[in-house]
Structure 1
Amino acid sequence: MSASPASTTHLVLIPSYNPGPKVRETVTAARAAWAPVWVVVDGSTDGSANGLREMAAQDPGLRVMVLPENRGKGAAVLAGIEQAAREGFTHALTMDSDGQHPAELIPDFMRASQAAPRAMVLGVPVFGPEAPRIRVLGRKVSNGWANLETLGAGIGDSLYGFRVYPIAPLVRVMRGQRFMRRFDFDPEAAVRLAWAGVPAVNLPAPVRYFTAEEGGVSHFKYLRDNTLLTWMHTRLFLGFVLRLPVLLARRLFI
């Protein structure tokens, strides 16, 4: 458990859907690094909610929210940050529940956020040799589009979900449209926050891909999710064209 007092401004928010056996390890590591930690169970059907509730019953620094049905990562994050905003929190560090993200770097990312509270602190993945090559190459395409759509606003990586968001602008962006609720959440959040004038701070962070034998679980579906990303970037590019005069003015005069 985290030995430091619970923060009243920054929390760790972990959306979780059928995460596999790594979830307990992930949550334990997050709690060792920070308090409070909230887990939003996104309609899981694997029984993980019960185990997480048992953990929370023994740990005042851990809260578990359970959504009645699977709505998608973005929807789970929105449910968490809306509740966090009601309780006075200003920033949320999001991370996956499957063990891929480096919980030991939570304090470093939180300190970066506290030093630049207007900014989003984006993890830039450092891949190990086990990373699927198609995933590594595919994200370069998404990153290229994100930097075009923001006129080079400094998004180091558009897809990596280990990052700290300022809650108020993220809530405004998400309430303003009906997208960003599923796998498209992370890249669209970065682009739309950049459009809203939120600066980016980029920090390197390792990412680990586990095999099924190691307890790894992936909900990524190549055709479905790449189709979703293609539609998302089509929408964002049209939005970029409409915002181009504002983005150019911001680059030239700010």
Structure 2
Amino acid sequence: MPETSRSHLVLIPSYNPGPGVVATVLGARAQWSPVWVVVDGSTDGTDKLLQNMAANDPGLSVLVLPRNQGKGSAVLAGIEAAAAQGFTHALTMDSDGQHPADLIPSFMAASQAAPEAMVLGKPVFGAEAPALRVNGRKVSNGWANLETLWMGVGDSLYGFRVYPIAPLTKIMRGNLFMRRFDFDPEAVVRLCWAGVRPINIDAPVRYLSAEEGGVSHFKYLRDNVLLTWMHTRLFLGFLFRLPVLVARRFF
């Protein structure tokens, strides 16, 4: 039986993931309870599929947003609803089968041992991972480490991680950005600025082919422009905070 928690939940933002989302949710439910799925305006019928699953599983809840707003918006809707029910931490994972559900208990245990920290997955790539994606993320990771004065962010983009809900909610409510693909790296940088230390744990990541049911919404030009604009904002914020960050980091 999966472990049941009143403080930590699994949160899965989902947008048109295809029928493979069933395996993702079942894998998460085999490891943890509760699991919440936030359907971000999906149009592929998976909202009804997931609601039918939840009707027969008290450990599964489904929140349906009326229109697609982006991953960050889906996570914010989920953590606000979770906080209202007394949850303090959320493990986020993608709905497309890339993330390792079997590591949920160990990530949750690390968070429970250090509830003031965020637990970040550090991706271990298989041979099938696109070289462009693997090498391209090094740029974002380099910027994130500079912007946090090397507080120890192992990977800024990997979305399999445990967030403390209260500081993340406060940051997002005070920020008009970090609602789409820019959510993961901006969240980790701003949490570091807020004094939330990162704990890194290696975790495999799978890139599924279309034949395996893989679905990708990554748009190379659009999303890289979004990341460039995000790091421009963050770098300016870093310069403004630099005296405080230096004092906290080195003194």
Bucket of the pairwise TM-score, normalised by the shorter protein: over 0.9
- 1:114 is aligned to 112
**Contact preservation (8 Å) 2:3, 2:31:** no
One-letter identity of the residue aligned with 1:57: A
The one of 57, 75, 78 equivalent to 2:76 is: 78
- 1:50 is aligned to 48
Q: Structure 1-normalised TM-score?
A: 0.98
One-letter identity of the residue aligned with 2:235: F
Aligned pairs, how many?
A: 251
The Cα offsets for residues 25-79 of structure 1, whole Å up to 9 and x where unpaired, read as 0000000000000000000000000000010000000000000000000000000
Query: Equivalents in 1 of 2:186, 2:47: separation in Å?
Result: 28
Alignment RMSD (CA, Å)? 0.6
- 1:66 is aligned to 64
Query: Equivalents in 1 of 2:79, 2:103: separation in Å?
Result: 21
1:1-254 alignment runs, 5 A limit: 3-253=1-251
The Cα offsets for residues 143-188 of structure 1, whole Å up to 9 and x where unpaired, read as 0000000000110000000000000000000001100000000000
- Per the TM alignment, residue 22 of structure 1 is displaced from its structure 2 partner at its CA by 1.3
- Per the TM alignment, residue 4 of structure 1 is displaced from its structure 2 partner at its CA by 4.1
Query: Equivalents in 2 of 1:98, 1:213: separation in Å?
Result: 13
One-letter identity of the residue aligned with 1:90: T
Structure 2 SS opposite 1:202: strand
Query: Equivalents in 1 of 2:205, 2:2: separation in Å?
Result: 26
- Per the TM alignment, residue 21 of structure 1 is displaced from its structure 2 partner at its CA by 2.2
Q: Could you list the runs of 4 or more consecutive aligned residues of structure 1 that deviate by over 4 angstroms after TM superposition?
A: none
One-letter identity of the residue aligned with 2:155: D
* Unaligned runs of at least 5 residues, structure 2: none
Query: Equivalents in 1 of 2:150, 2:19: separation in Å?
Result: 39
Structure 2 SS opposite 1:38: strand
Query: Equivalents in 2 of 1:126, 1:137: separation in Å?
Result: 13
**Contact preservation (8 Å) 2:13, 2:37:** yes
Structure 2 SS opposite 1:203: strand
The Cα offsets for residues 181-205 of structure 1, whole Å up to 9 and x where unpaired, read as 0000000000000000000000000
Structure 1 SS opposite 2:33: coil
Query: Equivalents in 1 of 2:18, 2:129: separation in Å?
Result: 19
Query: Equivalents in 1 of 2:227, 2:11: separation in Å?
Result: 23
The Cα offsets for residues 201-239 of structure 1, whole Å up to 9 and x where unpaired, read as 000000000000110000000000000000000000000
Query: Equivalents in 2 of 1:118, 1:104: separation in Å?
Result: 23
Q: Structure 2-normalised TM-score?
A: 0.99
